[in-house]
Amino acid sequence: MSHFRLSPILAPLAFALILPTLPAAAQRGDDGFSFGPPTDSVETPRNLPADPSPKDSSAEAARRYADCLEMARNQPDTAIERARTWQDTGGGDPARHCEAVAHMTRGDYRRAGRMLEDLARTMSADIGEGPRITALSQASRAWLLANQPARAEAAATQALKLRPNDVELLLDRAHARFQAGHYWETIDDLNQAIEHAPQRPNLYVYRGSAYRYVDAPTMARENLERALEMDPGNIEALFELGALARLQGNTAAARQRWLEVIRQAPDSSLAQSARENLQRMDVQVDGGAG
């Protein structure tokens, strides 16, 4: 049985594995990279308008919204208090969104997910579909971080009904489907994403990892090598190729790929995982194990 760290590309946050399978409740960790909620998971929805009180000008409301979001990312407890006060004085959707972002920052992902879903459901029809789609996307990412893949998938699917071919929304749903262990459905979403964004190397990395999880190593390798053709320095693809090689017993190829990860990005979490994998591999060789 392998005790190497294998990068679960599609997990919300990377973690150590014994075998290349993903439990329903993925854990936080520092071993590898993630195909999970992107770093912009609490970014401001575009075109979410302020709903100022009669005393507020539109410019003042927009400034207040921006300030609240900044505080939500850096001082979430204070931001929650201010957002609630703002809601009581007519802050509307921007104030509600600010509070949801603050809960996301605090790690209260369930509450953030519920608030973002409610926000998407109750937004005024006058503001268009863009803000609603963004709120649903953020809700999906919140539920993913809360280890609730079914709710994450549902939110992403609602958003895709409004914008069916949006690549980021397809990735949101792929995150959820992978966390739930629905690997072929994950590949379906990635296929559609690649159809609309064929020049994005990360999509091929993600699909390559997904193929590894359904025991299709040839397809996995083809996708990962395609990613490297497009982006020769892609450390995620290099690391994943090392994992694939190690699973197939090709320790020399695994070593080559992982050493390249360390050379390319020595301070990255993937490099740390590569070092640990190489150490384990050396211990097994010294001990006479494969």
**CATH number where 1 lies:** 1.25.40.10
* Each residue's pLDDT tens digit, 248-284: 999 999 999 999 999 999 999 999 999 999 999 888 6
In a domain, 23, yes or no: yes
Q: What residue spans of 75-216 are helical by DSSP H?
A: 76-88, 92-106, 109-122, 129-145, 149-162, 167-179, 183-196, 201-213
Q: pTM for the full model? A: 0.78
In a domain, 168, yes or no: no
Give the per-residue pLDDT at 242: 95
In a domain, 159, yes or no: yes
In a domain, 173, yes or no: no
Specify whether the CB–CB gap between 244 and 257 falls below 8 A. no
Same domain, residue pair 191 and 260: yes
DSSP at 49: -
Same domain, residue pair 187 and 125: no
Specify whether the CB–CB gap between 45 and 131 falls below 8 A. yes
The upper half-sphere exposure of residue 276, i.e. CA atoms within 13 Å in the direction of its Cβ, equals 17
DSSP at 126: G
Same domain, residue pair 200 and 277: yes
pLDDT bucket at 288, cuts 50 / 70 / 90: low
* Each residue's pLDDT tens digit, 35-57: 433 334 444 444 344 443 434 56
Same domain, residue pair 193 and 265: yes
Same domain, residue pair 140 and 188: no
Structure token pair of residue 28: 């936080």
Could you say which of 116, 134, 163 is where a domain stops?
163
Specify whether the CB–CB gap between 212 and 20 falls below 8 A. yes
Same domain, residue pair 204 and 119: no
In a domain, 76, yes or no: yes
Same domain, residue pair 23 and 118: no
Give the per-residue pLDDT at 282: 85
Same domain, residue pair 151 and 239: no
Could you say which of 101, 136, 163 is where a domain stops?
163
Structure token pair of residue 19: 């075998």
Same domain, residue pair 154 and 56: yes
Which residues are CB-contacts of 31 (< 8 A; sequence separation ≥ 6)? 5, 14, 15, 16, 269, 272, 273, 276
Q: Is 192 helix (H, G, I), strand (E, B) or coil?
A: helix
In a domain, 41, yes or no: no
Domain count, the chain: 2
Same domain, residue pair 150 and 210: no
What is the span of the domain harbouring residue 99?
A: 49-163
In a domain, 125, yes or no: yes
Closest alpha carbon to 82 in 104, 99, 60 = 99
Structure token pair of residue 214: 């359904």
Same domain, residue pair 8 and 54: no
What type of residue sits at position 151? R
Burial of 181 (0-12, 13-18, 19+ CB in 10 A): middle
Neighbours of 204 (CB within 10 A): 24
Give the per-residue pLDDT at 62: 85
Report the CATH number that the domain containing residue 76 is assigned in CATH.
Answer: 1.25.40
* Each residue's pLDDT tens digit, 171-186: 999 999 999 999 999 9
Same domain, residue pair 195 and 271: yes
Which residues are CB-contacts of 273 (< 8 A; sequence separation ≥ 6)? 5, 7, 14, 31, 32, 239
For residue 289, pLDDT beyond 60:
no
Residue tagged 């990255």 (tokens): 268
Residue tagged 């994998």 (tokens): 277
In a domain, 42, yes or no: no
Could you say which of 163, 195, 229 is where a domain stops?
163
Specify whether the CB–CB gap between 145 and 25 falls below 8 A. no
